[in-house]
Amino acid sequence: MTDTPSAGDALRNSIYKRYTGRRMGPARRLLYRFAAPLILGIARLWWSSCRVVAVVGEENLEQTLARWPSFLPCYWHQHTLFCAQYLLRQQRRLPGLKVGFLISPSVDGELGAMILRRAQAHVIRGSSSRTGALALKEYYHALTRDAVSPVVSPDGPRGPRWQFKPGAVLLAQMSGRPILPMAYAASRASFIHWDRFVLPWPFARIAIAIGAPRTVPRVLDAAGVEALQREMTEALRAAFVAARAALGE
């Protein structure tokens, strides 16, 4: 079996080299092309073993999409697994919904990008820590030009945990698109990594909660940004409380 680099591979290699000094070799490219469907298959098997018993506030998602062509789904990094899965599944039911995810422009990030593309997600290459301004620009274009709803984890991939950084507020202010807070709870789960990432056990019950959309005024001073950060922190906390209540906890 041969693996001939395409024009797209060459373009991605220029991106990798620009940001990390590395290139995607043919062996790694071939490995990723085999690994991506395998990892996605395992994730789908895990998802299917769990049972979503409640979605609280689903009308907030529907009403948001009816009013705006795109929005900013927002959840803590620890809630990625089932909030992302829920949004990807809703693309089948809601034709106007196009979900996007920020993936590192590094060589290592290509595996995650390939998995997400197979899951019918839109991929934005960038890093909130290394290419912050460019990532913000790509998010803005995705929202306003491509009608993609790019996910924001406001505490980022590195934390601090549960600290709502200003990026989502600034994006909503620039684009005129609302922030939609989300959370989920599992009846049985392990908590790993720095942010106590929620990893549900197989056959766990899952509840998802979606809060009301929050728009941001175009004119906002620093104090207003900080106030909105506190407001959205509370909105995410309230969504988690609602998800746990739906499980009877």
Residue 5 has pLDDT above 90, yes or no: no
Pairing relation of β-strands 179-186 and 205-210? antiparallel
* Least confident stretch, 14-23, 58-67, 82-91, 125-134: 14-23
Residues 6+ apart with CB under 8 A from 59: none
CB atoms within 10 A of CB 103: 22
Task: Give the CATH number of domain 7-246.
Answer: 3.40.1130
Residue 40 has pLDDT above 80, yes or no: yes
Residue 146 has pLDDT above 50, yes or no: yes
Instruction: Report the chain's mean pLDDT, rounded to a whole number.
Output: 86
8 Å CB contact between 230 and 38? no
Instruction: Give the DSSP letter string of 84-110.
Output: HHHHHHHHHH-TT--EEEEE-SSTTHH
Q: How far apart are CA 29 and CA 3, in angstroms?
A: 8
Instruction: Give the DSSP letter string of 201-248.
Output: PTT-EEEEEE---B---SS--HHHHHHHHHHHHHHHHHHHHHHHHHTT
Task: Please provide the distance, in angstroms rounded to a whole number, between the alpha carbons at the two ends of the chain.
Answer: 53
pTM of the model: 0.84
Helix (H, G, I), strand (E, B) or coil at 65: helix
Domain coordinates in residue numbering, the chain: 7-246
pLDDT cut 90: percent of the chain above it: 62
